[in-house]
Amino acid sequence: MKEVEVTVLRYDPEKDENSRFDSFNIEAKKNMTVLDSLFLIVEDQDPTLSFRCACRLGMCGSCGMLINGRGRLACRTKIEDLGEKVLVQPMRNQTVIKDLAVNMDKFFKNWEKVKPYFVPKEDTDEFSVIPPSSGRREIIDENQDCITCGLCYQSCDAVAIRGDDFIGPAALSRAYNLIADERDGARAERLDLVTEEDGAFGCHSFGACVEVCPKGIKPMVTIQKLKIKKLKKAIGLKW
């Protein structure tokens, strides 16, 4: 075991005028995660510390936060990989509820804007099953693992600059999956929807979303594909 200093940005909007940093010393065991350290702090040092988590397996995405300046899932980030000082802050681009817990309403409202659900065609038999040999499955599989953790959204500089005027990488990535699925009946409508001013062309291709995704999804690449589809559609090519 080694002693590690965990510094947490604290802020309660109902009580505090300004945020502050609190530091806690913990005994870090092998394979201990940042989430484990936060639980230790709550149990042994400060029960008022607030954060969000659920599965603790990297599947639900609810423990996203800034750890040493980078967006990560606390349950999948090991203390031993971070050194003797760990800085934990809430996700950017979203309102802090308390300490490390943020309000995700803005993120999910943007998710809803792209109509993130499959709309079957009237003739559902034509594309009800994707033949394994067709190659179409690979097109939509690459983004299927999104867990809506919001890490790409919090890391996105276009969101930071434009706020609500940009839908964000997660929602656009989800939209592409549905647009690329030939069985979906709302492809054209959805493509027009996500290529308006607040959509794909608002992406500045900074690439931060690619760096932080815990599932290896590349939203920036997907957004470029949306732009290409829109341009092809505009000049009458097959998209």
Which three-class secondary structure string do you get for the chain? Answer: CEEEEEEEEECCCCCCCCCEEEEEEEEECCCCEHHHHHHHHHHHCCCCCCCCCCCCCCCCCCCEEEECCEEEEHHHCEHHHCCCEEEEECCCCCCEEECCEECCHHHHHHHHHCCCCCCECCCCCCCCCCCCCCCHHHHHHCCCCCCCCCHHHHHCHHHHHHHHHCCCHHHHHHHHHHHCCCCECCHHHHHHHCCCCCCHHHCCCCCHHHHHCCCCCCHHHHHHHHHHHHHHHHCCCCC
Would you give per-residue pLDDT tens digits along the chain (239 residues)? Answer: 789 999 999 999 999 999 999 999 999 999 999 999 999 999 999 999 999 999 999 999 999 999 999 999 999 999 999 999 999 999 999 999 999 999 999 999 999 999 999 898 876 655 567 777 777 667 677 788 999 999 999 999 999 999 888 999 999 999 999 998 888 899 999 999 999 889 999 998 999 999 999 999 999 999 999 999 999 999 999 98
**Can you give the pLDDT at residue 128?**
66
What pLDDT is recorded for position 125?
A: 59
Query: Would you kindly state where each structural domain of the chain is located, as residue ranges?
Result: 2-102, 105-234
Of 1.10.1060.10, 3.40.50.360, 3.40.50.150, 1.20.140.10, the CATH number of 105-234 is 1.10.1060.10
Residue 127 pLDDT: 53
Q: Cα 122 to chain center, whole Å?
A: 33
What does pTM read for this prediction?
Answer: 0.90
| CB burial of residue 191 (10 Å; 0-12, 13-18, 19+) | buried
- The pLDDT value recorded for residue 123 is 66
In terms of Cα–Cα distance, which of 82, 239, 103, 107 is closest to 164?
A: 107
2-102: CATH topology: Ubiquitin-like (UB roll) (3.10.20)
Going by C-beta distance under 8 Å and a sequence separation of 6 or more, which residues neighbour residue 133?
none
pLDDT on residue 124:
60
The span from the CA of 234 to the CA of 239, in Å, is 10
Closest CA to 194 of 162, 161, 170: 170
**Residue 204 to residue 114: CA distance in whole angstroms:** 19
181, burial (CB in 10 Å: exposed 0-12, middle 13-18, buried 19+): middle
